[in-house]
């Protein structure tokens, strides 16, 4: 933080500082040796720097009140397209920068910088982010590439600098603007899931015959009463149509979902004792990100099938009830910042006969005990597993690809390309696949490439 504050106050760029030292040294040396050529050369360089410095300092004072605003895309979604073929067709997310007004002197440009920290999957430790762009002369707006390789939280600030085109000076100007942005996970796709929801009570109030005429039509869904089917309309369009009265309380269907973002990692301290609470590695964070992506796809696809379903989502951070699209968008924003939490006493399963849908990772060593506690209710498990232990050599990888088994990958280059500097603390012990066996299970494989 102190180093970043010092950089903001500096007016010389690294190139400008080096040039100033070299030109001053040459001038002093040429005066001692009475070399007229070197005296003229170094004097011209120092004179140019003096003119640029005075002009930039004078103009930056007038731009102190400039309010440049930056607005990231909403909602923000991570981008993991690292191969060159997909990168050509993929639209890069950009933040819009406005308010870059004011007269700019010749040989100067306004630069907009974004500095901050990115916390992948809500990790405790973030990595520094540094982005910069410049506005063309006379333009009052600009764009800056602003995307991330995985879900998480970005905390940072955007501010302007007045820089010369030679890259020698950089003057602070305008007002700083701090933002905290939640980045949703990149989408994934899986098999279509047919749900078996818990059904609530149906309102069977007696109504006058006049009220029965006030109804609307919709397509038949499993659970509707047969007497509500409009057989004439259904026969005409060859699709079952149900009559729903405006005063009728429809059947309430609830889906119980458990997102298990639990994490337990042991290590050895200097005294040789076992300790808990070590930070998650990048591979573990990537597995959590893919579990979030699978949960997102599940919620959206089920909502598309039947918008009347209500989700009861249980996580290590708390519980959510999702009734409509507005609730779903609010939950997805919260899901982007959910991190690993240590194990705690979990709430008892809700009483009911419907299916339970569980989303977890290979880091969840308490998953087998949880699945056992779910009996006798049917459980559908979506598990994110690593692939390193599964395929140890090229031959096994080829066989796996032939079977249609694919893994989602993330590379370190993805971080550097997007202005992030990965932390060395993210590279720890690799994750071992979790051995679980349940009736209905879908495994999503994920891996990192160093």
* Tens place of pLDDT per residue across the chain (450 aa): 444 555 566 789 999 999 999 999 999 999 999 899 999 999 999 999 999 999 999 999 988 888 888 888 888 888 755 443 343 334 568 889 988 887 888 889 999 999 999 999 888 888 899 999 998 888 888 899 888 989 999 999 999 999 999 999 999 988 889 999 999 998 887 777 777 665 543 433 444 444 444 456 777 776 677 777 887 777 777 778 887 655 444 556 888 999 998 887 544 344 444 444 567 888 889 999 999 999 999 999 988 888 888 899 999 888 999 998 899 999 999 999 898 888 766 555 666 667 889 999 988 888 888 888 888 888 899 999 887 544 444 344 434 443 445 778 888 888 888 888 887 777 766 788 888 877 788 888 888 877
Q: Hey, which bits of 221-322 come out as E strands?
A: 241-245, 253-259, 266-268, 274-276, 310-315, 319-322
In angstroms, the Cα distances linking 215 to 79, 157, 210, 242, 248 are 46, 54, 11, 10, 9
The pairing of strands 440-449 and 379-386 is parallel
Question: What 3-state class would DSSP assign to 400?
Answer: helix
Query: What pLDDT score was predicted for residue 259?
Result: 94
Dihedral sign (CA 74, 75, 76, 81): negative
Q: What is the largest CA-CA distance in the chain?
A: 113
Q: Hey, which bits of 135-252 come out as E strands?
A: 142-145, 152-164, 170-184, 198-199, 215-219, 241-245
Q: Which of these, 64, 54, 151, lies nearest to 384 by C-alpha position?
A: 151
Q: Long-range CB contacts (< 8 A, 24+ apart) of 224-231?
A: 224/251
Spatial separation of the C-alpha atoms in residues 223 and 335, rounded to whole Å: 31
Q: How far is residue 388 CA from its own chain's centroid? A: 24
- Number of C-beta neighbours around residue 157 at 10 A: 14
Q: What is the pTM of this model?
A: 0.76
Query: What pLDDT score was predicted for residue 175?
Result: 87
For the record, the structure tokens of 322 come out as 């999702």
Q: Does residue 47 come out as left (phi exceeding 0), alpha (psi in the -120 to 50 range) or beta?
A: alpha
For the record, the structure tokens of 110 come out as 């306004």
């Amino acid at each position: 933080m102190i180093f970043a504050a010092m950089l903001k106050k500096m007016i010389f760029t690294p190139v400008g500082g080096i040039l100033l030292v070299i030109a001053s040294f040459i001038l002093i040396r040429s005066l001692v040796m009475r070399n007229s050529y070197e005296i003229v050369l170094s004097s011209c360089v120092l004179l140019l720097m003096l003119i640029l410095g005075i002009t930039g300092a004078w103009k930056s004072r007038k731009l102190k009140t400039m309010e440049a605003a930056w607005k990231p895309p909403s909602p923000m979604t991570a981008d993991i397209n690292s191969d060159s073929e997909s990168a050509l067709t993929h639209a890069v997310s950009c933040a819009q920068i406005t308010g870059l007004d004011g007269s700019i002197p010749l040989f100067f440009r306004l630069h907009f910088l974004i500095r901050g920290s990115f916390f992948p999957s809500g990790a405790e430790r973030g990595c520094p982010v540094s982005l910069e762009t410049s506005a063309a002369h006379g333009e009052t707006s600009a764009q800056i590439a602003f995307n991330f390789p995985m879900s998480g939280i970005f905390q940072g600030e955007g501010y302007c600098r007045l820089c010369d085109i030679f890259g020698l000076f950089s003057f602070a100007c305008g007002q700083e603007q701090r933002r905290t942005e939640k980045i949703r996970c990149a989408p994934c796709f899986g098999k279509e899931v047919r749900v078996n929801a818990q059904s609530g009570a149906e309102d069977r109030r007696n109504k006058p015959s006049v009220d029965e005429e006030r109804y609307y039509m919709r397509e038949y869904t499993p659970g509707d009463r047969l007497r509500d089917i409009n057989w004439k309309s259904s026969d005409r369009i060859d699709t079952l149509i149900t009559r729903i009265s405006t005063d009728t309380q429809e059947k309430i269907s609830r889906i119980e979902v458990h997102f298990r973002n639990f994490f337990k990692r042991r290590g050895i301290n200097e005294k040789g004792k076992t300790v808990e609470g070590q930070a998650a590695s990048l591979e573990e964070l990537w597995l959590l990100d893919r579990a979030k992506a699978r949960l997102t796809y599940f919620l959206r696809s089920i909502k598309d099938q039947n918008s009347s379903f209500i989700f009861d989502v249980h996580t290590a951070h708390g519980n959510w009830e999702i009734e409509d699209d507005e609730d779903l968008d609010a939950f997805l924003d919260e899901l982007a910042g959910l991190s690993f939490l240590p194990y705690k006493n979990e709430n008892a399963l809700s009483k009911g006969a419907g299916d339970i849908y569980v989303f977890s990772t290979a880091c969840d060593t308490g998953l087998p005990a949880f699945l056992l506690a779910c009996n006798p209710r049917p459980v559908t498990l979506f598990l994110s597993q690593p692939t390193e232990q599964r395929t140890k050599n090229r031959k096994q990888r080829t066989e796996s690809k032939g079977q249609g088994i694919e893994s989602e990958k993330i590379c370190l280059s993805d971080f550097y390309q997007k202005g992030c500097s990965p932390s060395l603390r993210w590279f720890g012990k690799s994750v071992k696949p979790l051995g679980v066996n349940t009736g209905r299970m879908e495994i999503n494989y994920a891996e990192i490439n160093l």
